[in-house]
Amino acid sequence: MSYNCKIIRTSSYLEIWEYSSPIFSSDNTEIHTLQDNINKKQKRRTFDELTAEEKDERLKRLSKTRKNAKWKLQRLIDSNFDDRTNFLTLTTKANIQDRTEFNTIFDKFLKRLNYYIYHSKKRQLRYIAVLERQKRGAWHAHVLLFSFPYVPHKELLSIWGHGAVRINKLDSLDDSSNAGRYVAKYMEKGIGQELLESLGQKAFYSSRTLKKPGEIKLLTNEKIENLIQTDVILYESTYNSKIFRKGHLVNNEVKYRKVKLKE
């Protein structure tokens, strides 16, 4: 498969990438193979054992992964946000500093909450969650719940059972399309901590019940303006990405645009 245009659609906007040179499936395979080899080599050593150059390279990759996770989070939120979206924060009385231990009790909470609402063990909750360390070192959770019915606060306290619960309905935003940006910014610190704690494997948790943004890839000579009808450009930029050509990484200019969908 080859393409020179990629489009991602959420509920309120489109993201459009136009590539100067077509991208072939083999390009991504070669890049991923190269990156995997670098990662395997570095994972055998701790961060302190890396050279200054390797440390700098790892931090650059982590920063890029963090940004990509934030954008992915924004798209998921925008694709699922509704007028019953709530923001939940869970903290513990005990100073639980072991991430695996906290993750275990958090997962049990989700199961109990799901059963309380749906009276079924089948997971139907729609959520996104990020774990974050407090100043004391303990983990706590920020959870975005979609299509979430009213649950009395005392019931949430009982279902959680480990400490404080704070829940707010996200109904004060002037535009629902701002929800993804607002929440992703709030969760950004936790995203970075998650990437460090889980060695870059997972930035946030999300249920399988979420609606996913649509994505299409095209090989076309048509101007995007002829394919997409919009008069509101939220953001645009031009930058260079990397592709493999004859065994070498070369620049591939990309035009990126984020446009608001017409209502």
Query: In degrees rounded to 5, what are phi and psi of residue 114?
Result: -60, -45
* pLDDT for res 101: 93
Tell me the pLDDT tens digit for each residue of 34-66: 455 555 554 556 667 778 887 777 767 777 777
Write down the pTM of the prediction. 0.78
Q: 68-85 burial, b for 16+ CB within 10 Å, e for fewer?
A: ebbebbbbbbbbbbeeeb
Averaged pLDDT score across all residues of the chain: 82
Question: Which tokens hold the place of 22?
Answer: 């077509």
Question: Which tokens hold the place of 211?
Answer: 């609606």
| DSSP annotation of 57 | H
- The answer for residues whose C-beta is within 8 angstroms of residue 154's C-beta and 6 or more apart is none
The span from the first CA to the last CA of the chain, in angstroms, equals 33
Contact 130, 193 (CB under 8 A): no
Contact 232, 259 (CB under 8 A): yes
Tell me the pLDDT tens digit for each residue of 139-149: 899 999 999 99
Contact 129, 142 (CB under 8 A): yes
Q: Flag whether pLDDT at 242 surpasses 70.
A: yes
| pLDDT band at residue 180 using 50, 70 and 90 as cut-offs | low
* Matching residue, tokens 């059963």: 115
CATH class as words, domain 80-206:
alpha beta
d(C-alpha 188, C-alpha 71), whole Å: 10
Report the amino acid identity of residue 183. V
Query: In degrees rounded to 5, what are phi and psi of residue 174?
Result: -75, -20
Most confident of the following: 23-27, 47-51, 66-70: 66-70
Closest by CA position to 161, among listed 90, 238, 71, 252? 90
Domain segments of the chain as ranges: 2-47+213-260, 80-206
Question: How far are the Cα atoms of 38, 112, 166, 204 from residue 64, in angstroms, in the given order?
Answer: 16, 36, 31, 15
* CA 35 and chain centroid, separation: 21
* Burial (CB count <10 Å: 0-12, 13-18, 19+), residue 205: middle
Mean pLDDT (whole number) for 168-196:
63
Contact 206, 128 (CB under 8 A): yes
Mean pLDDT (whole number) for 197-211:
76
Report the amino acid identity of residue 119. H
- The answer for residues whose C-beta is within 8 angstroms of residue 146's C-beta and 6 or more apart is 80, 81, 82, 84, 85, 126, 127, 210
* pLDDT for res 201: 54
